[in-house]
């Protein structure tokens, strides 16, 4: 007999803890509900004070399952009276700092949380859903208050002028990444007279893609590292357990949005650095320092194991993003590519927030900040607040500036906490999925080695597990740590990093998050 849906106990995919779940206090919810109930009047009163983009074509592009929409893009052609075309591109971000004011309970709670946490089965938001899912969400067909970076670009994506300020928009269409991919690849057009939105907006989306591609080429030419990590979609059953794990395809539409967000982040940081050139520690930057010397030496020694020349990589003091990118291109397409890319990521320092502008090594930007996600990142909210004050030439409270570096450090710590929780949730989901797949044969790749076994990544789910030496087939195996090779004593069979192998699941323990594989000979 089938269970009633209401009686099924839904299992959460991460261990609950006070520091993770953090219910919103009543006074925070009260402030959010008050703003939400007055939103029509608040927005109507604000519109005359802002630059109005409601008549300019504006779209959001997000994942299928997105619940909040914190960024939008607008586009219009600017008439120049000549053959040269110019394009006004607006990067519009939900104006969270307008609603979350200093001294409010909402502000104190956002500061405490500092980030939203995205688990496999749920989101633990930084702000109550009245703001994050509605009032500050750039929904289709409704007026929304935004803070915008507006650029005039030529056909080569050169910046001719820029403007920053508070705006109001009304999104014409909510697109998913998959829809934009089909449209820009020409698979969505049926006939020229169709009134379907996909066809109506195709010209504008193609132009956005064309300009984004040119921005991306400029970024890569300047030396930005072109890393991309695999992401997965987890389909959950009624009981909360994963019933499928699907590797997401890397789409051009992801880069379209990303390149305009990077442009806004970079230009905002550069603009404020000019406004504050005689002030120290007066803004929030997103910084990424050059590689740690010890980690970089480990990376060099690791690359040598594969026989690749490393002389041009130099040292951690002389390495540049371009030098590293050029090296990674030389291993592209080789069996070692994924392993070496991952090792190069491990050699990098972690990006953090700071009032000291050290630049962003990975992006090869001298100035960089986070402007584009104040719904889910407290530092972005601070960036909006400071930018607004600098644009209005307001006097900034010195006590706030003195506290700014502490807020940056707290935000960096909370971001790391969220990363650990998100990875734990993914590992638990992988264990829950694989524990019922013990009879299935999977494709794997040797990802790492130790003196007790081989770490293997299962390619369809990204799950990593251990093949213990005693489970290796029909031989006694020796581990050569210097060469990172495992060799059978009798049959001389070898395993190297990057080798593709067939595996099966021996055990997957949700409590310990440990997975054991066996190699199928």
Domain-embedded: residue 472 = yes
Q: For residues 165 and 184, is the Cβ–Cβ distance under 8 A?
A: no
Q: What is the pLDDT of residue 498?
A: 86
**Phi first, then psi: what are they for 432, rounded to 5°?**
-60, -35
**Phi first, then psi: what are they for 201, rounded to 5°?**
-95, 5
Domain count, the chain: 3
Q: What is the pLDDT of residue 38?
A: 97
Alpha helices in 321-369 (DSSP H): 321-331, 337-346
- 204 shares a domain with 99: yes
pLDDT along the chain (521 residues), means of 10: 44 56 93 97 98 98 86 93 87 98 97 94 94 96 98 97 98 95 73 51 95 95 81 89 91 94 98 90 95 89 84 86 86 79 88 96 95 98 97 92 96 95 93 92 92 93 93 85 87 88 95 94 70
- 253 shares a domain with 341: no
Q: CB neighbours of 346 closer than 8 A, spacing ≥ 6?
A: 295, 299
Domain-embedded: residue 380 = no
Q: What is the pLDDT of residue 213?
A: 97
* 3-state SS assignment for residue 47: helix
Q: Read off the pTM.
A: 0.91
- 329 shares a domain with 212: no
- 250 shares a domain with 146: yes
The domain boundary, picked from 260, 282, 316, lies at 260
Domain-embedded: residue 422 = no
Domain-embedded: residue 186 = yes
Q: How far is CA 192 from the centre of its chain?
A: 36
Q: For residues 13 and 237, is the Cβ–Cβ distance under 8 A?
A: no
Strand partners, 58: 74
- 513 shares a domain with 473: yes
Q: pLDDT tens, 93-116?
A: 999 999 999 999 999 999 999 999
Q: What is the pLDDT of residue 116?
A: 95
- 339 shares a domain with 241: no
Do the strands 51-52 and 159-170 form a parallel or antiparallel pair, or are they unpaired? parallel
- 102 shares a domain with 198: yes
Torsion of CA 403, 409, 414, 418, to 10 degrees: 150
Domain-embedded: residue 100 = yes
Rounded Cα distance between 185 and 253, Å, is 10
The domain boundary, picked from 318, 333, 348, lies at 348
Q: CB neighbours of 144 closer than 8 A, spacing ≥ 6?
A: 43, 94, 136, 137, 138, 168, 169, 170, 171
Q: For residues 447 and 521, is the Cβ–Cβ distance under 8 A?
A: no
* 3-state SS assignment for residue 147: strand
- 68 shares a domain with 14: yes
- 253 shares a domain with 294: no
CB atoms within 10 A of CB 456: 26
Q: For residues 381 and 393, is the Cβ–Cβ distance under 8 A?
A: no
- Structural domain harbouring 153: 9-260
Q: pLDDT tens, 430-447?
A: 999 999 998 899 999 998
Domain-embedded: residue 368 = no
Rounded Cα distance between 387 and 402, Å, is 17
- 334 shares a domain with 226: no
- 57 shares a domain with 139: yes
CATH number at residue 460: 2.40.50.140
- 297 shares a domain with 243: no
One DSSP character per residue, 376-402 reads TBHHHHHHHHHHHHHHTTPPPPHHHHH
Count of helix runs (H) and strand runs (E) in the chain: 15, 21
Rounded Cα distance between 385 and 331, Å, is 44
Domain-embedded: residue 279 = no
Domain-embedded: residue 417 = no
């Amino acid at each position: 007999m089938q269970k009633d849906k209401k009686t099924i106990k839904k299992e959460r995919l991460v261990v609950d803890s006070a520091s993770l779940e953090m219910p919103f206090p009543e006074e925070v919810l009260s402030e959010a509900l008050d703003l939400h109930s007055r939103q029509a009047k608040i927005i109507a009163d604000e519109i005359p004070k802002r630059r109005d983009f409601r008549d300019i074509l504006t779209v959001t592009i997000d994942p299928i399952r997105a619940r909040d929409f914190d960024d939008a893009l607008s586009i219009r052609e600017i008439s120049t009276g000549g053959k040269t075309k110019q394009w006004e591109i607006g990067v519009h971000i939900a104006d969270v700092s307008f609603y979350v004011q200093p001294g409010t309970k909402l502000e104190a709670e956002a500061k405490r949380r500092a980030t939203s946490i995205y688990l496999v089965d749920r989101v633990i938001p930084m702000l109550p859903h009245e703001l994050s899912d509605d009032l500050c969400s750039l929904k289709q067909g409704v007026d929304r208050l935004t803070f915008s970076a507006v650029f005039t670009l030529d056909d080569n994506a050169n910046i001719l002028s820029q403007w920053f300020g508070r705006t109001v928009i009304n999104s014409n269409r909510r697109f998913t990444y998959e829809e934009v991919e089909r449209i820009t690849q020409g698979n969505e057009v049926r006939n020229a007279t169709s009134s379907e939105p996909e066809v109506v907006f195709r010209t504008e989306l193609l132009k956005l893609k064309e300009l984004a591609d040119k921005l991306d080429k400029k970024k890569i030419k300047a030396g930005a590292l072109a890393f991309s990590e695999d992401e997965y979609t987890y389909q959950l059953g009624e009981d909360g357990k994963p019933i499928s794990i699907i590797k997401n395809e890397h789409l051009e539409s992801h880069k379209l949005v990303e390149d305009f967000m990077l442009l806004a982040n970079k230009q905002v940081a550069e603009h404020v650095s000019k406004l504050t050139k005689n002030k120290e520690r007066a803004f929030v930057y997103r910084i990424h320092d050059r590689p740690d010397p010890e980690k970089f030496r480990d990376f060099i020694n690791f690359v040598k194991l594969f026989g690749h020349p490393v002389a041009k990589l130099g040292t951690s003091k002389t390495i540049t993003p371009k030098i590293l990118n050029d090296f990674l291109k030389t291993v592209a397409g080789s069996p070692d590519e994924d392993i070496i890319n991952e090792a190069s990521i491990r050699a990098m320092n972690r990006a953090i927030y700071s009032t000291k502008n050290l630049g962003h090594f990975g992006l090869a930007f001298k100035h960089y900040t986070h402007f584009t996600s104040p719904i889910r990142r407290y530092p972005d909210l601070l960036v909006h607040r400071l930018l607004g004050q600098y644009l209005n030439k307001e006097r900034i409270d010195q006590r706030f500036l003195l506290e700014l570096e502490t807020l940056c450090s707290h935000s960096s710590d909370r971001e790391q906490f969220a990363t650990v929780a998100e990875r734990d949730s993914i590992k638990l989901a992988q264990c829950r999925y694989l524990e019922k797949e013990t009879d299935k044969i999977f494709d794997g790749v040797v990802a790492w080695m130790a003196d007790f076994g081989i770490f293997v990544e299962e390619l369809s789910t990204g799950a990593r597990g251990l093949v213990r030496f005693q489970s290796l087939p029909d031989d006694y195996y020796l581990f050569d740590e210097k060469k990172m090779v495992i060799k059978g004593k009798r049959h001389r069979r070898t395993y190297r990093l990057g080798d593709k192998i067939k595996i099966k699941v021996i055990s997957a323990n949700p409590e310990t998050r440990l997975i054991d594989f066996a190699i199928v000979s």
